[in-house]
Amino acid sequence: MRHVPVKLLLLRIIDTENATSRVSKNRELREIESLLKIEEHKLSYDDYIAPMALWAVEDTGKIARELGVLRVVPKGSYIMGLFGGEKKKGKPEYAGLIVKQYSAKNGVVSIKLYNLTKSYNVPTDLMSRYGVDIYKIYYRGLVNPFSCRTYNVLLSKRGDEDLKKFLKTLVELNQNTMPQRDLNYLNALIKELKTSIDMFNEKRYYVIYRCQRMFSACVPTDLKNAVSESHVAYLECEEQEQAYYYAGVLNYLAYKVIESGGSFIRDQFARPLLAIIVAGLSWKTVPEDMRKMISDLSSQLSGELTWSGRSGQRRAFKQLTQSSKFVEIVRILDSCVDKERLRYALNLVSSYPNKNRSKTKKV
């Protein structure tokens, strides 16, 4: 981006307690001039506008280069039919692709899918014929700060049509012993399912984070036959140290939103990564010794933390504040980030009550 020699200025209300109600967009500047003071913004015009330019064109390649990583994926694989319908929204239930039970013995595979009453058998070679396998899926509900788990999911590497053919054959082989409910649920799944597979590379290192609401982050270590889903975003890194560093930074930024009283915007996608760049916390920006400290602490937390079920994220971060290792991550990053830049970075991923927004106006 060409350098633009423009200064950014902030108008701040001098006495916020008494003057806020008297300052509004309906008043002329001359009426409220005595209530305001002008300060120079600590961000240059280029620093201020660059993240929005990247966001506008969704240039994940440039974001990856700014972060010094191999790849940025703001939204994982689209898979429809994981849990069979949306009960909360009053929609009919059907079978889901999530595998509740699975075993293979003597050339026969036994599979119980989500929402079905029992397991059903198919020959092992039938799975090979349609490219079907049991994959591990990193699902948003199981991604927590510094730690995550997976579900097993039934997918075909050849796509939807082969997966549907496999399920139709499963029905044909078991229909004589299949309750009508299970038959209806499986037929509905065959009709509804849609899948795409974005496999993780076992030779790389990843940081995955929730790409809706609170962007809790972790480094997955079980990458064999592993895929993501569309509510999870990720970074692909060449070095393990870098992955643990970015997991620490993302969790730090999420914590700072909570600490400052903000609420997370709904769709995050690549926004947390732009926040890293704006805050000046990219891998290329932070001194090497600090990067290593953050990475080491993040790695230690990843090995120690376990979360039961679908842990509430605010509760999880509240628990994190009791960990001396996380407190140290916060202290180190606080020491190397400019408060003005951090405030702007957090505005990319969160919103604040109107009473706070009115205290600062850009001109």
User: Tens digit of pLDDT for each residue in 193-218?
Assistant: 999 888 999 999 999 999 999 999 99
pLDDT at 360: 38
User: Tens digit of pLDDT for each residue in 251-304?
Assistant: 999 999 999 999 999 999 999 999 999 999 999 999 999 999 999 999 999 999
pLDDT at 37: 72
This prediction has a pTM of 0.82
Neighbours of 208 (CB within 10 A): 25
pLDDT classification of 129: cutoffs 50, 70, 90: very high
pLDDT at 307: 78
Residue 361 pLDDT > 50: no
Residue 9 pLDDT > 80: no
Mean pLDDT of 163-183: 97
User: Tens digit of pLDDT for each residue in 306-334?
Assistant: 877 566 899 999 999 999 999 999 999 99
pLDDT at 357: 40
